[in-house]
Amino acid sequence: MSGPADLHTVLGRSVLLQLRVGPDGPVVDRVLIGAGELLADLPPDLEQDAIMNHRGKGDRLFQAEPDRALWRDAHALYAAALSGSGRLYNRLALLDQEVNLLAVGLIADQSKVSGWVRDVFPFRGTVRQELHLAAYDGASCAEDLTSAVTKAAETARANYYRHSSVADTQAWGRLLRRFDPGGELWSRLDTPFHLLLNQVVAGGPPEPALDGYCASLIAAGRHALAESLACLPPNNQGLRARAMAEAELDRQLKRKQVHPRLAKAAR
């Protein structure tokens, strides 16, 4: 095609979906993005729209992970749109309208497929820089929040079971999972993150949107921790563990290492 989008069928490339004709010609309603699992490296001429994830050691193609929601790495999608190397993104950027990027990934171990994940991210060429920064900062704030909640849960465990032996590592880990909301908390952060992106793609100022997002994160974190600590008995030992955990959460959120916007919202 030579219109405002590419049609690719090679694994690891983007796939055009829901093409329709608008007043100014072909319009893309939704685009499928994501490398998936490749059995061999793609030749250079097929990598123009590849999504690279810079998390961890070295660069690698963006892939789905069974224990990590796609939105946590959405900034990788927007980073590809900033590089200027992908013809698909360049054509999408020329459209004076919002489009949806549909990211889909199979969860597989060798040839055994166990499931798949999907998510939709808004895109508009005029604010792709703002979208990248919002996605990057939003994911960083979410990581810092969940880390702070885990530290608070560790404090609850240490105070409630302070006379227990920690020789059994597995048992000690199970006790932590009793107080740490873990994956349940992550699932609650999905909606605020997508709301943040929608506000940015609509043209709203990124700074107030991020401040509101961080306030939502902290509220979700406090609520999830409170639910996890509800199993503590209402005696002196239980009340002390709960109070120490809540105080530790406040302390963790105000540390210098925490993202500045999240620390600001916690004040």
Residue pLDDT, tens place only, 5-51: 444 334 444 555 566 777 877 666 666 555 455 555 656 665 666 67
Q: Alpha-carbon distance 132 to 138, whole Å?
A: 10
More confident residue, 31 or 126: 126
More confident residue, 183 or 116: 183
H or E element at residue 231:
none
**Does pLDDT of 182 surpass 60?**
yes
- Compute CA 204 distance to the chain's CA centroid, rounded to the nearest angstrom: 21
End-to-end CA separation in angstroms for the chain: 53
Q: What integer pLDDT is reported at residue 7 of this predicted model? A: 40
- Domains belonging to the chain, first-starting first, are 15-123 (no CATH), 131-266 (1.10.132.100)
| Average pLDDT score over residue span 131-150 | 97
What average pLDDT does the structure give for the chain? 82
In the chain, what percentage of residues exceed pLDDT 90? 49
Q: What integer pLDDT is reported at residue 107 of this predicted model? A: 77
- Burial grade of 117 (CB within 10 A; 0-12, 13-18, 19 or more): middle
Q: Quick one: tokens of 185?
A: 């908390």
**Does pLDDT of 190 surpass 90?**
yes
Q: Using 50, 70 and 90 to split pLDDT, how confident is the model at 114?
A: confident
- Summarised one tens digit per residue, pLDDT across range 51-88 is 777 666 566 777 778 888 999 999 988 888 887 655 67
- Find the angle CA(91)-CA(93)-CA(98) to the nearest 5 degrees: 115
**Does pLDDT of 207 surpass 90?**
yes
Q: What integer pLDDT is reported at residue 137 of this predicted model? A: 97
**Does pLDDT of 160 surpass 50?**
yes
The candidate with the shortest Cα–Cα distance to 97, out of 33, 23, 32, 16, is 23
| Average pLDDT score over residue span 207-216 | 97
Q: What integer pLDDT is reported at residue 1 of this predicted model? A: 37
- Summarised one tens digit per residue, pLDDT across range 236-262 is 999 999 999 999 999 999 999 999 999
Helix (H, G, I), strand (E, B) or coil at 36: coil
Q: Which residues pair with 65 in a beta bridge?
A: 68
Q: What integer pLDDT is reported at residue 149 of this predicted model? A: 98
How many CB atoms sit inside 10 A of residue 112's CB? 7
Q: Using 50, 70 and 90 to split pLDDT, how confident is the model at 222?
A: very high
